[in-house]
Amino acid sequence: MQISPTCKDEAFGAQPVCVPILLALRRAASLSTCALILFAFILLAPLNALAQKPTQFDVEAAYLFNFAKYVRWPPHDPGNFEICVLGSDPFGNSLDQITHGEKINGEQLTLRHLQVASDALTCRIVFLGSTESKHLAQDLTLLSGRPILTVSDIANFASNGGEIQFVNDDGRVRFLINRRAAEKCGLALSSELLKVAKLVLADAPAGRE
């Protein structure tokens, strides 16, 4: 997968980011599971090794979109596939660009920005921003047991019952998976997704009752 060094002059947060990079990250989600592993190795490269480097949050946004392709949800009524950002949004426009016009399993993907966890009950994926750290226990209690994939980069998120936690591994964006929490919510995580995780916390708490 070639990434063009040509940038569109747009700013995401404080740094300019190449739109072709974001589009390339988005296109990777439509590839085979073998390509996901290759995609993961690309993202595991130190961010400063790319010609026009994406930020940490550009990479996290790309992962969020890709997670949707490698999770099987329980049977549900068809509708929009909602990716929700709860609390502070670190992604700038990158998540909007990656998800714009996309479909997941035939359902139109929509992006929502929320301030309270009670508004997230129809979401399929919820990213909890850093401002949620002060009431993380309440959020996870509310979302626990529902078919919702919870994701965050808050410290100790996975060990406290969150399902996927982004971590910085020597300048690389990696993620931890709390498999028990996902199973409790009725979510089946692809074996390919488990393979590219930094660590699978099979014995971590499943979430608060």
Q: Which residue has the higher pLDDT, 80 or 19?
A: 80
pLDDT confidence of residue 30: 46
Query: 207 pLDDT exceeds 90?
Result: no
Structure tokens at 10: 């747009």
pLDDT confidence of residue 36: 53
pLDDT confidence of residue 38: 47
Give the span between the Cα atoms of 97 and 25, in whole angstroms.
Answer: 10
At residue 88, the 3 state secondary structure works out as: coil
pLDDT band at 6 (very low <50, low <70, confident <90, very high): very low
Give the span between the Cα atoms of 54 and 50, in whole angstroms.
Answer: 8
Residue ranges per structural domain of the chain: 11-200
The CATH number of domain 11-200, selected from 1.10.260, 1.50.40, 3.30.2010, 3.40.50 = 3.40.50
| CB-CB contact of 203 with 180 (8 Å) | yes
Query: 84 pLDDT exceeds 90?
Result: yes
Query: 204 pLDDT exceeds 90?
Result: no
pLDDT band at 39 (very low <50, low <70, confident <90, very high): low
pLDDT in tens, 175-194: 999 999 999 999 999 998 99
CB atoms within 10 A of CB 32: 9
